[in-house]
Amino acid sequence: MLSLKTLKLGVFVGLVAVAPLTEASGNSSCRCFYGDDCWPSDSTWNAFNQSVDGRLVATVPLATPCHTPNYDAKECKVLKDGWLLPEEHYNGKSTGASALSVWTHHLKDIEIKDWKDKHYTGKAAKLGAGVQGIEAYEAAHKQGLRMVGGECPTVGIAGGYSQGGGHSSLASKYGLAADQVLEWEVIDGNGRFLVANRNQNTDLYWALTGGGGGTYGVVWSMTSKAHPDGPVSGLNLTFTTTNISDDAFFKVVELYNTHLPSIVDEGVMSLNFLSNTSFSISPMTGPGVPLKKLESLIQPVRDELHRLGIKYVYESEVFDHYLAQFNAQTPLVEVGVAQYGSWLLPRSIMQKPSTNHELTNSIRTVLARGATFTTVGINVAKEVSGDVYNAVNPAWRNAVAHTLMSTTWEFDEPKKMLAKREEMTNVLVPSLSKLAPESGAYLNEADFRQPNFKQAFYGENYDTLRKIKAKYDPHCLFYGLTAVGSDEWTIAESGRMCRTTSAQALRHEI
């Protein structure tokens, strides 16, 4: 884990963590750390600050205003109110002790344009690296367009979200967020400002598009497809376990999963949240799908609920455009209160009654341990994503579900938290991954301790991605937990980064 305690210099929480280049004298396998003789002098930092027009920010730990002697009630409240929102911190990838971060939040330019090449002709949006999902949706909406972005409105759309794949309510119709990207502007690890698309720097384009954020360079802008907007139908359905047996509850769960492949094949994305006391589809989104059609897809589940005498709440509505449906039906997703683990499930699991039943048993295991179980039902197969060239984890193409497990974070009981962490890695995730060991997991929402993460997060793309990183970031300036190349470093308790022994050998090869 990276400790913020020791973070003394750097630019406030950004999207990309950059390790100081100089390596510690007398210990060439480690990066310079604050306090080391090799740490840059004040005059070096000042010169650097001048070179960036005085924009260098010396950071303090994020929660400083909430602690003496720097306690500030007002600032602390602002921080607490926003603490659970994903833009505050994501998967530990964007922070590091004695690291320099690049804060891209204020790069807000949005330009709607026409794009024409042999792979795509149509509208596109060029988005600065700091543009947040909701800002892109609103800008597109004003031009009668919609864009593939996340369910969390504040997550940056050009950052790790699209660079790592990016699932969306619109993905079963258009593909993942990465599948929309036409071009990147990026500053690579050699300090070059590059344009990467399918005609120039194509290897960098391929890697940035799905191969993970904060790894190959600092993205300055992303140009992505924007699609003609139109009606979007949506529905939600909820019931609780009150007065019903476990068997009845899981009968409905199993039936829903049986129908999932046919639901997503209609261009629909369906979010299903399960806890040990509730079942909720919230929402099922059908861009361009007539409401009657959307309703027919969930009718078998409603019939079963009637048959079993289970009371449920159900609402459906057709909206004029995507933004209206997004604002009305998207749930607020909180992070920072839970730990996560995930696995991508191929459609073959749901299509075969015996394996679908095994899935139900796995879900039972997860819920019985007090964890929640979320299914992001989605179809981003090649037929949907179309003519794309990118490093999206190949496991996505056969998947119909990104399954996500979470347990609450034990803030005051570190021992209990460590036990829960072990449970996530050794019990919960394996209960899903054993159903499809050859599949993988979505790198942006997964167990940060996922064993064999290279295979799970990147599949057969890993080795190629590592070579591309070596070309564009030869000094390993960019580091992120579970990012490509990250296994070549170890992070000590203090936050100090050192090369692993095997990586020292590798360095001579690349």
CA dist 61 and 70 (Å) reads 11
Stretch that binds ligand NAG, among 235-243, 375-383, 411-419, 469-477 (CB under 6 A): 235-243
Report yes or no: 333 and 404 within 8 Å, Cβ to Cβ: no
User: Which CB, 236 or 258, lies closer to ligand NAG?
Assistant: 236
For the record, the structure tokens of 134 come out as 């909701």
Q: What Cα–Cα distance (Å) separates residue 467 from each residue in 18, 159, 409?
A: 19, 22, 37
The least CB distance from residue 112 to ligand NAG, in Å, is 28
Tokens of 421: 């962490």
Site for ligand NAG in 284-323 (CB under 6 A): 311, 315, 317
Tokens representing residue 249 in the block: 């509850």
CA atoms within 13 A on the CB side of 256: 26
Q: Which is nearer to ligand NAG, 29 or 355 (CB)?
A: 29
Q: Counting contacts by CB under 6 A, is residue 337 touching ligand NAG?
A: no
SS3 246: helix
Q: Does 242 bind ligand NAG (CB under 6 A)?
A: yes
Shortest spacing between CB 372 and ligand NAG, in angstroms: 7
Q: Nearest approach, Cβ of 376 to ligand NAG (angstroms)?
A: 16
**What track of x and - describes contact with ligand NAG for positions 28 through 47 (by CB under 6 A)?**
-xx-----------------
Residue ranges in 486-505 that form contacts with ligand NAG under rule CB under 6 A: 498
Is the Cβ of residue 38 or residue 110 nearer to ligand NAG in the bound state?
A: 38
Q: How far is the CB of 243 from ligand NAG (least distance, A)?
A: 4
Type of residue at 464: T
**Locus of tokens 């999963």:** 257
Nearer to ligand NAG, 276 or 464 (CB): 276
Q: Which of 49, 154, 351, 360 touches ligand NAG by CB under 6 A?
A: 49
CB of 119 to ligand NAG, least distance (A): 36
> Of how many residues is the chain composed?
510
Min separation Cβ 76 and ligand NAG, Å = 23
Residue count at the site for ligand NAG (CB under 6 A)? Answer: 21
First-to-last C-alpha distance (Å) of the chain: 28
The residue among 473, 475, 501 whose CA lies nearest residue 487 is 501
Shortest Cβ distance from residue 37 to ligand NAG (Å)?
10
356 or 362: whose CB is closer to ligand NAG? Answer: 362
For residue 407, the 8-state DSSP code is E
- CA-CA-CA-CA torsion sign (436, 440, 442, 444): positive
Among 27-35, 290-298, 445-453, 468-476, which window interacts with ligand NAG (CB under 6 A)? 27-35
Which of 180, 201, 236, 258 touches ligand NAG by CB under 6 A? 236
Q: Select 58 or 510, whichever has its Cβ closest to ligand NAG.
A: 58
Shortest Å distance, C-beta 234 to ligand NAG: 6
**Closer of 257 and 406 to ligand NAG (Cβ):** 406
Which residues, 6 or more positions from 5, have their beta carbon under 8 angstroms from its beta carbon? 61, 97, 495
Residue 396: CB minimum distance to ligand NAG, A:
26
In the bound state with ligand NAG, the residue whose beta carbon lies nearer, of 11 and 196, is 11
Q: Residue 9 or residue 79: which is nearer to ligand NAG going by CB?
A: 9
Q: By CB under 6 A, which span of 15-23, 26-34, 250-258, 431-439 interacts with ligand NAG?
A: 26-34
Residue 221 belongs to what H/E stretch? strand 217-225
Between residue 345 and residue 384, which ones bind ligand NAG under the rule CB under 6 A?
368, 370
b/e map 48-79, b = 16+ CB within 10 Å: eeeeeeeebeebebbebbbeeeeeeeeebeeb
- DSSP-derived letter for residue 444 is T
Q: How far is the CB of 29 from ligand NAG (least distance, A)?
A: 5
Which amino acid is located at 167 in the chain? H
Q: Residues 51 to 70: which contact ligand NAG by CB under 6 A?
A: 54, 56, 58
Please report whether residue 24 would count as binding ligand NAG according to CB under 6 A.
yes
In the complex, minimum distance from the CB of residue 287 to ligand NAG, in angstroms, rounded to a whole number = 15
139-158 binders of ligand NAG (CB under 6 A): none
User: Residues 74, 322: contact at Cβ < 8 Å?
Assistant: no
Burial class (CB in 10 A: 0-12, 13-18, 19+), 201: buried
b/e per residue 253-274 (b: at least 16 CB within 10 A): bbbbbbbbbebbbbbbbbbbbb
Rounded Cα–Cα distance for residues 253 and 113 (Å): 44
The tokens of 468 are what?
Answer: 């591309």
Return the H-helix or E-strand segment holding 115: strand 110-116
**Contact set with ligand NAG (CB under 6 A):** 24, 27, 29-30, 49, 54, 56, 58, 236, 242-243, 276, 282, 311, 315, 317, 328-329, 368, 370, 498
